Structures are given as C-alpha cells and as structure tokens.
Structure 1
Amino acid sequence: MTPVAIIAKAKEIGLDLIGITDHNSTLQAREIRRVGQLAGVEVLCGAEITTREEVHVLAFVEGDDSLDKLQEWLTNNLIVVPNNPDIFGYQLVVNQNEDVIYQEDNLLIGAIDKSIEEVEEFVHSLGGIFIPAHIDKQQNSVISQLGFLPTHLRVDALELSSNVNIEDFKKMNSYIAKKPFIQSSDAHYIDDIGKVYTELKTEGTTFEQIKSAINRI
C-alpha cells in the first residue's frame, strides 16, 4: 500500500483522519502524512508495537521530534532477526512518487524487548497516545496474552477489531466497560481501509484535541 493509494482510498470513502501504525516502525508514516496534507486528510503517525509478551499496542505521537525518538527507541529495542524477503516480503519505505527510499533488513513482525508497561511508560513520556490493539482477538491481544487488562496500565483507549460489537464486548468484559473504546479497520490491504471506523467529536485536529476526543469516547 503506497502513500498515494492509502490517502486516495481514505479520501474516496470520506475519512477525515487516519492513523498509520506499521509494525514496530514509524518510517513510512511521515511520507503518508505528507501526501495527506496535500489532500486534506489528517494523519496520526505512530507504530503498532509488539511487546515482549507479544501484545500488540498502538502508539501515536505528535511531531517529528517525538516520532524520531519513538523510532530510535524501537530500533534500539527490536529483537534482531534478519528478514527473509522470500518468506515475508520486502519491507520498503515509499515516497509520494512511489520511489523506494529505504529498505528495512531486520524483520519487523517480531517483538521488541520491552514489556507492555515499559511501552506504555515510554509512549506517555513523549506525550503520546497508548491504545492496546484488537483486544478481542485470540492472538497478540492483551487479553489473549495476559488473560486480562492490567488495571495499572494507563490506556487512552482500547481498540476492538471489526469482528465484534462494542456493546456486546463490554457486557462480556464488564471490568473494563467504562474505558474508552475505538474500532479500527486494521487495514493491511487497500480495500480494508474504512471497513470499520470510529467517529470522534472534536473541535479541531490538533494532536491534543484528537487525544482528548479519544479519551472522551
């Protein structure tokens, strides 16, 4: 999925805001943000981080400085396994002209050597947004890996996949029912973009306004 194709699809289906969270990498996000700015689509930049427990969490940060710090932290803590393109495909960063500007040689679908608590602490130290991902799934979710959501985790929201109804999930998991919930497409293919989405009531599109709107869901 190239930056131009992602933004074109978002524009086509009427999305005003999208989040870009590649696995354990922020490197593609700012290229997509650049295309989004030209098309009038806001882009939240971040990463989908795999913790030491193999829990997937979404992390969003504001501005290039924080994005650079997040990327450096991910690079320094990634458990290094060389990528095999014949099995996992090439891991490329593509610009708005669809030119390849970088190739990542280490496999990004593994874990970093940090616990979920350490990830949460670091993301919030950057003023970021921390959201455990697709917590209803039977693999790589905080519930599948730990059996529950730790009450001491400072979550900005909890994400559900497109496979469940939010209200039904809350009834089955009443101990977290009062947390903010979002639902996202978790798109890995163009046609999946916008398959499910969350409406935010916000007065603007600054990072803090978006973060506040998520906290109020």
Structure 2
Amino acid sequence: MRELRPLTPDRVTDLVGGCAPCTFWQTVPHNGHSGPREPLDLLAEWVETVTSEWGSPGRVAYVDEQPAGHVLLAPARYVPRLAAFPTSPSDPSTLMLVTVMTTPEQAGIRKTLVQTAAKDALAHRARSLEAVGARPLAVSRHACVLDVPFLEKVGFRVERDHPAYPRMRIDLRTVVTLRDEVAEALSRALARVPGVHPAPAPHPNGTSRASVADARPERPLSR
C-alpha cells in the first residue's frame, strides 16, 4: 500500500536518498564545509519553522509502511542555498520544488511525488512552481539538484536559462485547466452511454443544479 504523509519534524528520519539526511538546500557553504550542527537536528528545526510560518514543506512516501521517497517544496525565502545559484529567483515568495528523492526500488514514484507537490502548491493558492535544474555542463553538481530532463518530463519549462543551472517553471493554472478539460470530456463521454447520467454541474452558490431544482416548491396540480 502506498501513502504520502506530510513532512513533520519527527519524520525527517524517514527521508531517503543517497545523501540523506541532507541539509544542502537548508544551509549556505561555510568555507567549503558543512556547519557544526547535526543534519537531523537542523532538518527538524527547518521543517518546524517552515510549517509554523507557511505549512508543511513536503511529503514523505511510504510503501507498505516503509519510507520510499520524499519531495520538498517551500517559498524561496526558506531555501538559503538558492543564493549560490546564478538563476536564483528574486522574489522570496516564489514557491520552489526543492528536491525529489526515492529509494532505488521505488524510482517510479518520482512523478507521483511531483504531482503531489503541485497539488499542495495549489492548496496554497500558488500560480506556479519553480525549481533549479542541472544540465550535463553543471560542474560538481549536488545529488539534490534535479535533472533538467526529468523536470521537463513532468511539465516544467525553462523560465530563466543558464548553461548549467536553468530555473524551471510549471504553470499551475495549466494543471487546473487540464483537470477541468478531462472532467468535461468524461462527462460528455458518459452522456453518450445509455442509462448513465453524469453528475449535475455545480450552481455558482456551491449547490448542484439538481439540488436547486429539488428545493423549489412543487406546483399545485391542476384540477
């Protein structure tokens, strides 16, 4: 069974990947070395801070109750490492897809994790989701920086180009539009099936047209 749970401070021990626990995005370089604090403590503090001020900064995927992957997202102001990239966004409120990691056996759920991040971004009323991607020209690329081909495969497009580290962007309004178009197409298909009636379209006040009609008083029978 697969389940995606919000990232909480007590779940940072379930983060997976070749460099987990990793604080690459949550820190800035200190003369080429990591800070003196324990990565798990720093990660837990980061998750707690982002959660209290913005919301849970990601999801952890479990398959049969075992950690299988995770996705991190947060506004740019909570991602200090972005300042080290030439394509760092100037707006601190820009919502960033920080990283996506899975165990080798569950690599197929990477797309699902990105889709979940997009849904969480929509819940925050974000219009877009961005990420710094890495091309083959990237020197000493860190494992937590996502590949450009992968980002393009899941719908991201170049927002600010760079030979090594372009900033990628996906328009979440397009995601909503595609979802609505699929729903309409399904409704039209069901309407052509004898004996099947699609659900009524919602009324602007939030009720269905059918329920509005049912609420009208019945006309008296003519004598």
Structure 1-normalised TM-score? 0.25
Highest RCO, 1 vs 2 (Cα 8 Å, sep ≥ 6)? 1
Structure with greater Cα Rg: 2
Structure 2-normalised TM-score? 0.24
